[in-house]
Chains A and B, each alone.
Chain A
Amino acid sequence: MLEINNLHASVVDIEDSQILNGIDLKIGKGEVHAIMGPNGSGKSTLANVLMGRPDYEVTDGDVTFDNESILELRADQRAHLGMFLAFQYPAEIPGVRPWQFLKAALDSKAEARGEEKMSVRNFSKLFDEKVEAVGINPTLVKRSLNEGFSGGEKKRNEMLQLEVLQPSLAILDETDSGLDVDALRIVAEGVNSMRSPERSFIVVTHYQRLLNYIEPDVVHILVKGKIVKTGGPELALEVEKDGYKEYLDAAAAGANA
């Protein structure tokens, strides 16, 4: 489904700002991959580069989605292909209702794919269902998108969008951070219920705890813009216990060599 080859990326207009230093990653259909790594190691950058954020520039390597390179595509085009990013820090948009926003998003996608737009009535039904499923306070969705939402509310709102848009590849950037126990379970249940042979997930997290609920097929450790280790769920337990020191030391040694 998604193949990342030797991906190098830096910040546009900032010299020597390389953040991703050659990432290789292959995510098959229906797989769930977890990415862990110390703060500032490039996890969000990777997620944003995959989604096409214009602040970053790919300097080397390639990313293919269903065997087609997507690097030339804009973010909206990637969304139309079925990619989705649950943001670590969702933007606040004053005056825009979540309902209106999601309907527009769904319509754009349908239009781009030449599919029929969902009727307002069906959409409303779906929306209400999902609002209940992710446990968002219904008064919240009558407010402006993310404006004044608490940290946890923002994350639930990202889950709401994920569930309504039903992407084929979902990237969750620390969607579990700042969540209470109940919310954590809701996120996990959401992901688990959406898991299917047709849908893949990249779950960026700092906590092994989430992986108790969402059992990943593969766990990657990202350090200084490179994947330094790949393994099964046991890898997350190891990191939980030992931290990243070993990898950081190795990376430092590598840099000095």
Chain B
Amino acid sequence: MTNQNTISRESDLSGGEYKWGFVTDVETDLAPKGLSEDIVRLISAKKEEPEWLLDYRLKAYAHWVELEKNDAEPTWAMIDYPGIDYQDIYYYAAPKGTNEAPKSLDDVDPEMLETFEKLGIPLQERAALAGVAVDAVFDSVSVATTMEKQLGELGIIFCSFSEAVKKHPELIKKYLGSIVPYTDNFFAALNAAVFSDGSFAYIPPGVKCPIELMTYFRINTEGSGQFERTLIVADKGSYVSYLEGCTAPFRKTSQLHAATVELVALDDAEIKYSTIQNWFPGTKEGEGGVYNFVTKRGRADKNAKISWTQVETGSAITWKYPSVILKGDNSVGEFFSVALANNHQQADTGTKMIHIGKNTKSTIVSKGISAGKGNNTYRGQVQIMPGAENAVNHTQCDSLLVGDECGAHTVPYIEVRNPTARLEHEASTSKVSDDQLFYLMARGLSEEEAHHMIITGWSRDVIKELPFEFALEASQLLKVSLEGAVG
């Protein structure tokens, strides 16, 4: 069951290099390259969206056009890349035959199923056995959702975003853009205009979701951007743990991924959101790779809690700051992150904790690993608003250097507007020491195993926050991602 799965994924990893670089040969329904109002309309029409959603997209698009005109693509991050040509990207790609959602797995293209198989996604019975519900997103269209029924009995909704638009428009209408408005930033505007698909989850009041909800995203069509849109609403007193894993095929050209994720934790609710991001990092020479520009934010109401845990080993560029608005009194926000930048990868990632309610508490643990010519930047903001009596933040920010051509940077912003706040900030930079390596090797571990053990040990505070199977995968990913950087 779960084990089997994990093992098959592990064996994929053992050989090193990027193992997810296969392309699925499925006929694809492609809209022409480039972005225009027509394309936005086409996407909406293909998805048979209601008028209000088309309006929303068009407003977002108009806003984005303004931003683009004014050169408002953000440039403050410590990343360096050739400009993105937004007219050279496919904004809609759907595997043919999936315009109508498959009724059962038998209706799904076998080749596609094989792709998921290779990715180790526990679809079919394996999903049920593993206790994982999968909403698998293939390019822009969600192809299969498992365990929907079992969850349905508890009143839990877990489906693709497009399906939710059709079946639960009132929820989407209420929450879409409520946490990340399209005016938030350049990429959020772009996403709101052209978002393809993603997941939607709703947990009714008082319900503890009994399984981990899980989504695998995958960019398949060459030159296509993926604009994932995910919304999770945990109603009062509910609990949900959501897992997201990402891979993309090996391409010499760069691919754009601009996602938006919104979390709403109503009073006394808790959302745990875990990500393993393993998009294609580009070749060793720095060609290709995914440009990952992501806006993730959650709102925690009274006594609610939101935890972001991320292991970021992929992408050529990562621009990502999962944040929590601590709106309600006693709400809690957490951010646990391991980001690895090897070869020519650049990661600029961190979090924002915005304390609004009284007695709000946030914890930030960021571990940045730089290897090869990689560059890793932690960028974090802790904001204590005037009404946030007795707010507490603890930030721990560690960097680990492997080799001497890489870079680690820390950019913490702190804004305190209430004198009762208590903030702690710890930061450290270390290197894998020769003493440690020799100690482990003298016991029989290879140099690579020794590095791996030191690095996963060092990342332990974050990895232990992940659900078990994910923790194993995260550790394996760190190993594979570091190959070539050591020895």
Contacts and interface: CB of A to CB of B under 8 A. Distances in A.
Contacts of B442: 51-53, 75-76, 78-79, 84-85, 87
Contacts of B446: 76, 108
Contact of A112 (B444, B453, B454): B444
Interface in B7-61: none
B444 A93 contact: no
A93 B438 contact: no
Interface string A50-94: 011111000000000000000000111011100011010111111
Interface in B422-457: 433-436, 438-447, 449-450, 453-454, 456-457
Given A76-B444, A161-B443, A165-B443, A95 B461 contact: yes
A51 B433 CA distance: 18
B436 A91 contact: yes
A119 to B, nearest CB: 15
B440 A93 contact: yes
Contacts of B167: none
Contacts of A52: 441-442
B444 A95 contact: no
Contacts of B447: 74, 76
A39 to B, nearest CB: 20
A105 B445 contact: yes
A96 B443 contact: no
Contact of B444 (A48, A105, A144, A145): A105
Nearest to A89: B435
Nearest to B439: A91
Contacts of B443: 79, 84, 101-102, 105, 108, 161, 165
Interface in B352-401: none
B458 interface: yes
A93 B453 contact: yes
A206 interface: no
Given A94-B457, A101-B453, A108 B439 contact: no
Q: How large is the interface on A (under 10, 10 to 19, 20 to 34, 35 or more residues)?
A: 35 or more
Nearest to A146: B439
Given A75-B441, A79-B444, A108 B449 contact: yes
A8 interface: no
Which of B438, B449, B460 gathers the greatest number of chain A CB atoms within 10 Å?
B438
A85 B454 CA distance: 20
A74 B433 CA distance: 17
The secondary-structure label for the interface of chain B is: helix
A74 B441 contact: yes
Given A74-B447, A76-B446, A91-B435, A101 B459 contact: no
A95 B449 contact: no
A109 interface: yes
Nearest to A111: B444
A104 interface: yes
Nearest to B443: A105
A94 B444 contact: no
Given A55-B434, A74-B447, A108-B449, A95 B441 contact: no
B438 A75 contact: yes
Interface string A191-233: 0000000000000000000000000000000000000000000
Given A74-B447, A112-B444, A94 B458 contact: yes
Nearest to B459: A95
Given A91-B433, A93-B457, A96-B454, A54 B445 contact: no
B445 A95 contact: no
A95 B433 contact: no
Which of B433, B443, B449 gathers the greatest number of chain A CB atoms within 10 Å?
B443
A93 B441 CA distance: 13
Contacts of B456: 95-96
Interface in A132-154: 144-145
A104 B449 contact: yes
Contact of A104 (B433, B436, B453, B460): B453
A161 B438 CA distance: 15
Contacts of A55: 434, 438
B439 A109 contact: no
Give 6 closest A-B pairs by Cβ, nearest first: A95-B457, A95-B460, A96-B457, A79-B444, A91-B439, A105-B443
Given A87-B442, A94-B460, A105-B444, 11 more contacts: A54-B434, A55-B434, A75-B438, A76-B442, A79-B442, A80-B444, A84-B443, A93-B439, A93-B457, A95-B459, A104-B445
11 contacts: A52-B442, A76-B445, A84-B442, A91-B433, A92-B436, A95-B459, A104-B449, A108-B449, A109-B444, A161-B443, A165-B444
